[in-house]
């Protein structure tokens, strides 16, 4: 890890104390609980369009996640946000978004929502995204800015946070 001369040393990790996918799981579980109490189906019964869209989202999730994971493996750094990063990954899907793993989780979330045929998880998705942004991405970005000062600043200026 690097830091500017005279600057305070970077923190040991981003300080995220829970696995970020739990936010997405919580949104789906809460949505399913709401669906049990007040059913709100996306379609009345089976739907080829809904199933195909869910499958496309699922494939998108796998492609993006595998690409992001492979970048971390190549860089020999951790994807666990409560461990120190050995490198800043800017290749693969990280060329298009600073958070491809969270983008992939949104696709998985939408796929699950379509498979279970409920609007409630969709209604809760904005809350999941705000929680991800505030509780996970913001601390990760503060950590990366301190740990990879110039490199992260340049990366951040050319690549969007989400899409």
Walk along the chain (163 residues) and give the pLDDT tens digit of each residue.
444 444 555 677 777 888 999 999 999 999 999 999 999 999 999 999 999 999 999 999 999 999 999 999 999 998 888 888 899 999 999 999 999 999 999 999 999 999 999 999 999 999 999 999 999 999 999 999 999 999 999 999 999 999 8
Q: Quote the pLDDT of residue 4.
A: 44
Dmax over CA atoms of the chain, in Å, equals 63
Domain limits at 113?
46-158
**Does 32 fall in a domain?**
no
**Does 26 fall in a domain?**
no
**Does 94 fall in a domain?**
yes
Termini Cα distance of the chain: 27
Question: 0.95 exceeded by the pTM?
Answer: no
- CA pair distance 38, 123, nearest whole angstrom: 13
CA angle 45, 28, 16 (to 5 degrees): 160
**Does 6 fall in a domain?**
no
CA angle 68, 138, 105 (to 5 degrees): 40
**Does 28 fall in a domain?**
no
**Does 15 fall in a domain?**
no
**Does 1 fall in a domain?**
no
Contact, 147 vs 3, CB < 8 A? Answer: yes
**Does 30 fall in a domain?**
no
Sequence-separated (6 or more) residues with CB below 8 Å from residue 48: none
Q: Quote the pLDDT of residue 6.
A: 43
Contact, 132 vs 126, CB < 8 A? Answer: no
Give the count of domains, the chain: 1
């Amino acid at each position: 890890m690097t830091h500017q001369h005279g600057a305070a040393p970077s923190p040991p990790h981003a300080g995220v104390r829970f696995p970020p996918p739990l936010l997405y799981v919580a949104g789906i579980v809460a949505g399913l609980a709401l669906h049990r109490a007040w059913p709100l189906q996306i379609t009345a019964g089976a739907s080829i369009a809904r199933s195909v869209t869910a499958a496309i989202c699922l494939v998108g999730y796998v492609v993006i996640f595998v690409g992001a994971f492979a970048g971390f493996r190549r860089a020999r750094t951790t994807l666990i946000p409560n461990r120190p990063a050995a490198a800043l990954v800017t290749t693969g899907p990280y060329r298009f978004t600073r958070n491809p793993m969270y983008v992939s989780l949104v696709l998985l979330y939408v796929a699950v929502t379509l498979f279970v045929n409920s609007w409630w998880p969709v209604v809760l998705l904005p809350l999941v995204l705000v929680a991800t942004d505030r509780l996970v991405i913001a601390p990760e970005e503060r950590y990366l800015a301190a740990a990879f000062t110039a490199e992260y600043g340049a990366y951040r200026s050319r690549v969007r946070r989400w899409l």
